[in-house]
Amino acid sequence: MSLLTASLFIFILIALSAIVSSSELALASSRKIKLQVMAKEGDVRALDVLNVQEQPGSFITVVQVALNAVAILAGVIGESAVSPYLERLFGNETVGSVLSFILVTSVFVLFADLMPKRLAMSNAEPIAVKMVRPMMFLIFIFKPIIWVFDGAANAFFKMLGISTVRQDDMTSEDIYAMMDAGAEAGVLKKHEHHLIENIFEMQERTVTSVMNPREHIVYFDSQTPTEHVVSVMIKQPHNKFLICHDDDLEHIIGYVESRSFLASVLEQQEVGLTDKSLLKPALFIPDTLSLFEVLETFKSTGADFAVIVNEYALVVGVITLKDVMSIVMGELVTLEEQPIVQRTDNSWLIDGMTPIEDVIRALGMVNLPHSENYETISGFMMFMLRKIPKKTDSIKYAGYHFEILATDHLKINQLLVTKFDIE
């Protein structure tokens, strides 16, 4: 065989190997989500790629048979055609054979394997949809061979108890990773990243982490004089006020809206807290609900205000639709004084009633120990100190120094958190 003819055959074999090699990587690494999007946009070849990925045994067998056959044939042709010229050039048969092997192998590694696979890695889905039909044709042609080798491989895997089923189930961790990658690449803006993160967090955070706690609830006894009610409503920022029997928060009969009550007073109407036109039934929800479940409850009932009770039927707080949406929208809708204020790059002032999830996010921590036992940063300090905290008490954890700056009787008002270098 002449050198020109051998070179032509080797060129054809390199092209064939490059096509098979790039198809292998493209079909294996194509992302399921991207393929589903392409299928919805009308590219039916994307569905073929998904089908091949579900049954990878046949495809892998065809690829390996083709690549090995091409490599062996190229070695034979290269050895027979190139070696004689190199032997005459160097005057040594062994040197000619070795250089022939190195030359042919190097050309194949570069042009038939390395370059096609790098191209397939950066354009997996476009290459996959273009090559899936030819690969399906090869699978049909080599069906008997596939049946033998694929069957043998399956038998060995079954004996070893190894599953070869491809797992493409999307988890919340996968979505978080995709969002982080999108933010780093600049596809997602910072506030968009936080918004999506907050939506997923709603499924994990309980209603007690956002509620207005019992000690901050403003309520009225059903017999409270109108003058006192008006005075309190004017001073308080709330729009809804609970109404109770015998001034007992465990005997709630409903709630009134300040706007409606004050409008009736301005119109010089004789009104009372128990008037049917003003008193609305309260929605009660358990303290074990997640924020997502609370949002669904608000949606199904048409309410935007709820009273939270614990397992002993004691009122532990109240929550509004605005409270839930403030978690979703974050800084975009939160206009009140921030519970976490960053003083420097390594120090923060934190309100004692700040939910522990917000603290973890602000400090960039992974988690705090035994976080199921408390809901606020005050609870964390009490859990770690194993006593009722007092001013100047402090702890160190995971490279952070937590110090209590102010207390009010048994309540922690403010903490200073400082990050320090761990030696």
Determine the pLDDT at residue 284: 96
DSSP string, 268-301: T----TT-TTT-BPPEEEETT-BHHHHHHHHHHH
Task: Give long-range contacts, CB 8 A cutoff, 24+ apart: 377-386.
Answer: 377/350, 377/351, 377/352, 377/353, 377/402, 377/412, 377/415, 378/352, 378/353, 378/411, 378/412, 380/356, 381/352, 381/412, 381/415
Determine the pLDDT at residue 383: 92
Both tokens of 332, joined, read 């975009």
Q: Token pair 């089923």 is at which residue?
A: 165
Distance CA(190)–CA(360), nearest Å, equals 18
What are the two backbone dihedrals, phi and then psi, of residue 280, each rounded to the nearest 5 degrees?
A: -115, 145
Provide the β-strand partners of residue 415. Answer: 350, 404
Determine the pLDDT at residue 293: 92
* Residue 60 vs residues 27, 123, 135: alpha-carbon distances, Å: 10, 20, 10
Determine the pLDDT at residue 335: 46
Model pTM?
0.57
Q: What is the chain's pLDDT, residue by residue, as a tens digit (423 residues)? A: 566 777 788 888 888 888 888 888 888 888 887 888 888 888 888 888 888 887 777 777 888 888 888 878 877 777 777 777 777 777 777 777 778 778 878 888 888 888 888 888 888 888 888 888 888 888 888 788 878 887 888 788 788 887 666 665 666 666 666 666 666 666 666 666 677 777 777 777 889 888 999 988 999 999 999 999 999 999 888 899 999 998 899 999 999 999 999 998 888 777 888 898 899 999 999 999 999 899 999 999 999 999 999 999 999 999 999 888 877 776 544 445 578 888 888 899 999 888 888 888 888 887 888 887 888 899 999 999 999 889 999 999 988 999 999 998 888 999 999 998 755
Helix (H, G, I), strand (E, B) or coil at 334: coil
Determine the pLDDT at residue 203: 79
Provide the β-strand partners of residue 67. Answer: none
Distance CA(324)–CA(159), nearest Å, equals 53
Name the CA radius of gyration of the chain, rounded.
Answer: 35
Determine the pLDDT at residue 229: 92
Question: Which H or E run includes 394?
Answer: strand 394-397
Distance CA(49)–CA(36), nearest Å, equals 10
Query: What beta strand segments (E) does 23-131 contain?
Result: none
Determine the pLDDT at residue 169: 62
The C-alpha angle with vertex 103 and arms to 99 and 104, in degrees rounded to 5, equals 120
Determine the pLDDT at residue 408: 86
Provide the β-strand partners of residue 418. Answer: 347, 401
Q: Which alpha helices (DSSP H) does 30-55 contain, by range?
A: 32-40, 45-54
